[in-house]
Structure 1
Amino acid sequence: MALIIDLKPSERVIIGSALITNDKTRTRLHIEGAAPILREKDIMRESEADTPCKKIYLFLQLMYLSDKPEDMHKDYFDLVGEIQNAAPTTAIFFMQINDMLMQEKYYNALKKARELIEHERELLANVA
């Protein structure tokens, strides 16, 4: 069964390694196959990764879109260690994210990383 994506006017989506920008009208795409797909709302630009947990999200995004995600594992796990040392309450998130990562369920890991970012936001609000 095909994945159906409805795109708003001018909305962007990454399919595989291609960035696709919709025209000025709504569009419905029917996608078959196993290419990674990210809607614009799920795409984080490097300039937006301004906190440690947002950098985790960016790593996961890059792994999801990469042909060789394992090339990023060392840097990713180094950052995970730093974050867990500074904020031990993040461990539960990383247990789940890392399990998804090892199963190559990158999109699910991205969704869990959104929860991690929210947890980070709450931690930072309590410090301020």
Structure 2
Amino acid sequence: MDKLYWEGTETTPEVLFDPENQKYEITGRSFPEDPVEFFQPIFDWIDANLPEADHKVKMKMHIEYFNSSSNRMILLILKKLEEHLAAGKDIAVQWCYDDEEVLGDGQMYSTLVNVPFELVEVDE
């Protein structure tokens, strides 16, 4: 499995998928100019690498703000995780929030996909 790392910017989240250290994280703000261009490599990585995972994949998502285009892309990531869970992989999502709006987003996503969801309040 390959490592994927992108440093976050003012408009894009930091992405760290590190199978060797079993860290899978998307953190920061998400309102890229071209969401499909930004997120497509993430979708590709998930499809290429998760079938090889021999450990639990806990996707930590702490997205402080995202626009409607990113909303759709986040849902597609969760749907991809759901597909791999259905194929027998051990997958869960840890949705981190520091305000009620982000909590509400996590609660909404948890009803839209059949993936174990943990909602975690963080101080920031």
TM-score higher than 0.5: no
> TM-score, normalized by length of structure 1?
0.27
Greater RCO between the two (CA within 8 Å, min separation 6)?
2
> TM-score, normalized by length of structure 2?
0.28
Tell me which structure has the larger Cα radius of gyration.
1
